[in-house]
Amino acid sequence: MPKYIFVGGGVMSGIGKGVATASIGRILKSKGFKVTAIKIDPYINVDAGTMNPVEHGEVFVTDDGVECDQDVGNYERFLDEDIYTDNYLTTGRVYQAVINRERNLGYNGRCVEVVPDIPNEVISIIKKAGKKVKAEFILIEIGGTVGEYQNMLFLEAARMLKLQHPKDVLFILVSYLPIPKLLGEMKTKPTQYAVRTLNSAGIQPDIILARSLIALDEPRKKKISNFCNVSIKDIISAPDIKSIYEIPINFEKENLGNRILKRFGLEPKKSDLKEWKGLVKNIKKPRKKVKIGIVGKYFETGKFTLMDSYISVIEAIKHAAYSLGAKHEIVWLSAEKYEKKPRSIVELKKFDGIIVPGGFGNRGVEGKIKTIEFCRKQKIPFLGLCLGMQLAVVEFARNVCGIKNAHSREFSKKCEPVIDVMPEQKVLLSEKKYGGTMRLGAYKCKIKPRTKSSGAYRSLNISERHRHRYELNNDYRGILEQNGLIMAGINPQKDLVEIIEIPNHPFFVATQFHPEFKSRPLKPHPLFKEFIEASLN
Ligand code: GLN
Give the per-residue pLDDT at 52.
84
Q: Which atom of ligand 1 is nearest to the CA of 438?
A: 4
Strands 326-334 and 288-296: parallel
Residue 95 and residue 125 in contact, taking contact as beta carbons nearer than 8 Å: no
136 is known as an active-site residue: no
Q: Low-confidence residues of the chain, pLDDT below 70? A: 298-306
Q: How far, CA to CA in Å, does 216 sit from each of 182, 198, 212?
A: 19, 22, 8
Q: What is the pLDDT of residues 189-220, one digit of tens each?
A: 999 999 999 999 999 999 999 999 999 999 99
The pLDDT of residue 305 is: 63
Residues having CB closer than 6 A to ligand 1 are 358-360, 386-387, 410, 467-470
**So what's the pLDDT on residue 163?**
96
pLDDT at 304: 63
pLDDT at res. 64? 95
CB contact burial 210-246 (16+ within 10 A = b; e otherwise): bbbeeebeeebbebbbeebebeeebbbbbeeeeebbb
Q: What is the pLDDT of residue 308?
A: 81
Q: Whose CA is nearest to atom 5 of ligand 1?
A: 387
Which of 390, 465, 497 is the pocket-test mutation for ligand 1 (most atoms within 8 Å of CB)?
390
* Per-residue pLDDT reduced to its tens digit, 254-270: 999 999 999 999 999 99
254 catalytic, yes or no?
no
DSSP-assigned states of every residue in 190-231: HHHHHHHHHHHTT---SEEEEEESS---HHHHHHHHHHHT--
Domains of the chain: 3-225+232-278 (3.40.50.300), 286-420+472-488+497-536 (3.40.50.880)
Of 319, 466, 505, 514, the active-site residue reads 514
Separation of 466 CA from ligand 1 center, angstroms?
Answer: 9
Residue 56 CA to residue 34 CA, distance in Å, equals: 30
List 68, 228, 375, 386, catalytic entry: 386
**Counting atoms of ligand 1 from 1, which one is nearest the CA of 360?**
1
**Cα(295) to centroid(ligand 1), Å:** 15
pLDDT at position 303 is 63
Annotation says 516 is catalytic: yes
Own/partner contacts of 94-97, CB < 8 Å, gap of 24 or more, are 94/118, 94/121, 94/122, 94/125, 94/153, 95/44, 96/46, 97/121, 97/125
